[in-house]
């Protein structure tokens, strides 16, 4: 199974959120639906980065975090 690491940016607050998923488009819609506890108060979210990973592990996000934050 292919997984993707992603970074979202809150248009309202300028904060970032990162995670991993198999379906980036659906996950973005889910974050913007208000059903995700952490992200619901910071909507709307936009996708600012996607990286294709070979496993579900978000270990690769450490590198992304170093380059982005």
What mean pLDDT is reported for the chain? 85
C-beta neighbour count of 42 within 10 angstroms: 19
| 67 prior amide bond cis, ω within 30 | no
The share of the chain scoring above pLDDT 70, in percent, equals 77
pLDDT at 51 over 80: yes
- What confidence tier does 62 reach under pLDDT thresholds 50, 70, 90? low
**pLDDT above 80 for 66:** no
Q: How far apart are CA 10 and CA 55, in angstroms?
A: 26
Between 1 and 28, the higher pLDDT residue = 28
Please name which of 32, 1, 19 lies closest in space to residue 60, comparing C-alpha atoms: 19
DSSP string for 24-42: HHHHHHHHHTT-STTTGGG
**Is the distance from CB of 12 to CB of 28 less than 8 angstroms?**
no
Using the predicted structure, report yes or no on whether residue 33 has a pLDDT greater than 90: yes
């Amino acid at each position: 199974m292919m997984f993707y690491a992603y970074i979202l940016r809150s248009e309202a607050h300028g904060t970032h959120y990162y995670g991993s998923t198999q379906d980036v488009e659906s996950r973005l819609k889910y974050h913007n639906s208000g059903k995700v506890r952490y992200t619901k108060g910071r909507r709307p979210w936009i996708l600012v980065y996607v990286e294709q990973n070979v496993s579900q592990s978000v270990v690769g996000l450490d590198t992304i975090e170093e380059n982005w934050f």
